[in-house]
Amino acid sequence: MPPTEDNREPAQGFDFGADAPAPAPSSDAGKHAGAGHRERLRERLLKGGAEALADYEVLEYLLFAAIKQGDTKPIAKALIAQFGSLAGVLNADPGALQRTKGVGKTSAAALKSVAIAARRMARSEVNTRPVLGSWQALIDYLAIDMAHLTVERVRVLYLDTKNRLIDDHHVGDGSIDEAAIHPREVIRRAMDVGAAALILVHNHPSGSPEPSRADIDVTQRIAEAGRLMGVSVHDHVIVGREGHVSLRAKGLI
């Protein structure tokens, strides 16, 4: 049976920093078997490298920190089934995670912290090098940060004369059209922050990154406004669960 969360008020003197464990095994043999499984998983992780564990086993291990005893495999597999992938789990809303049986606040926080760490690692690669010279690092960062969002989000990355990131501006959420993103406002902010160039970014919650007519039209209007003010639009990148599309690569800018 998977561990379950105990929602009762904590009694004084007890540590409720972790989610409640599964009921104690009926025998020492069962207890030792559970401990042995955790130890074997730990050794495979440490010695086997990135591909040593299946996605559900990675989740199993992450849940060990929050659930001190018991079998976390059923919870891990339920999370994969619910959210579709390891990335889907790590990018899920904490409230949605807690609707899976056995996942409490501590487990949800542990999984969320991993997602935050991944984003910050990816972002550091973007911040420390010219964006155009580390394009794959940028794509990795955007995929981690946006591919699994359930709403459409629009961002503008403003770059200096050396193509280093100086401002990552969240324009807003919603469909990318002139009601959500105004070409003059995008270029005005470029002037305000001293940007020489910019990259438009948004996601498609549907999963497919293929551009719509509205995506293409608003990009071309911003590019034209930028030309008048001496600000280059390097690209418009659309990300989704199925990959990414560069409008520049498609010849649409």
Domains of the chain, each with CATH number or no CATH? 28-118 (1.10.150), 129-246 (3.40.140.10)
Which residues lie closer than 8 Å to 132 by C-beta, 6 or more apart?
163, 234
pTM as predicted: 0.64
pLDDT at 233: 95
* Per-residue pLDDT, 17: 54
Q: Which residues have C-beta within 8 Å of that of residue 70, sequence separation ≥ 6?
A: 2, 3, 21, 22, 23, 34
3-state SS assignment for residue 241: coil
Strand partners, 218: none
Q: What is the pLDDT of residue 13?
A: 33
Q: What distances in angstroms separate CA 149 from CA 161, 205, 212, one per listed residue?
A: 31, 6, 18
Q: Per residue of the chain (253 residues), what is the pLDDT tens digit?
A: 555 444 333 333 323 356 755 444 445 444 545 678 888 888 888 887 767 888 889 888 889 888 887 888 999 999 999 988 888 888 888 899 999 999 999 999 989 888 888 878 777 766 666 777 778 888 888 888 888 888 888 999 999 999 988 999 998 887 665 446 789 999 999 999 999 999 999 999 888 999 999 899 999 999 999 999 999 999 999 999 889 999 999 998 8
